[in-house]
Amino acid sequence: QVQLVESGGGLVQPGGSLRLSCAASIRIFSFKAMGWYRQAPGKERELVATIIAGGLINYADSAKGRFTISRDFAKNTVHLQMNSLKPEDTAVYYCYVDRAGTPTTWGQGTLVTVSS
């Protein structure tokens, strides 16, 4: 069983940056996948970025070139560095973890608002 605590959301102007963090309660080294979804008002939840066990990283087309996902094994934390933020990036961002034989675990969500 794992718990995820998210932080780093907030209000930022277009073109600005935020760094989201997702701290896990257990070691993340062997997690099958970790990443971030987001859900904007009235929209379906969409995958933003994911990193899988072998180190492969995938980004949504809208995030590619602007967002970077990374892991800090020492701190059992995954980060999402978001640069060149746009108003359409406004959403609640949810960290997730997949482990073999275990249902997906979700963070509580952190709100990102991109506005002038």
For residues 34 and 98, the answer to whether their CB atoms sit within 8 Å is yes
Q: Are strands 18-24 and 77-82 parallel, antiparallel or unpaired?
A: antiparallel
> pLDDT tens for residues 55-69?
899 999 999 999 999
For residues 80 and 48, the answer to whether their CB atoms sit within 8 Å is yes
101: pLDDT strictly greater than 90: no
* Amino acid identity for residue 13 in this structure: Q
CA distance 23 to 28: 9
pLDDT given for residue 29 in this prediction: 84
Q: Any bridge partners for residue 75, and if so which?
A: none
Determine the average pLDDT of the residues in 91-114. Answer: 95
22: pLDDT strictly greater than 90: yes
Give the chain's mean pLDDT: 95
53: pLDDT strictly greater than 90: no
Confidence grade of residue 46 (pLDDT, cut at 50, 70, 90): very high
Structure tokens that stand for 114 in this block = 């991109």
Which is nearest to 96 in space by CA: 31, 9, 35? Answer: 35
Question: Three-state DSSP class for 24?
Answer: strand
100: pLDDT strictly greater than 90: no
> pLDDT tens for residues 24-42?
998 988 889 999 999 998 9
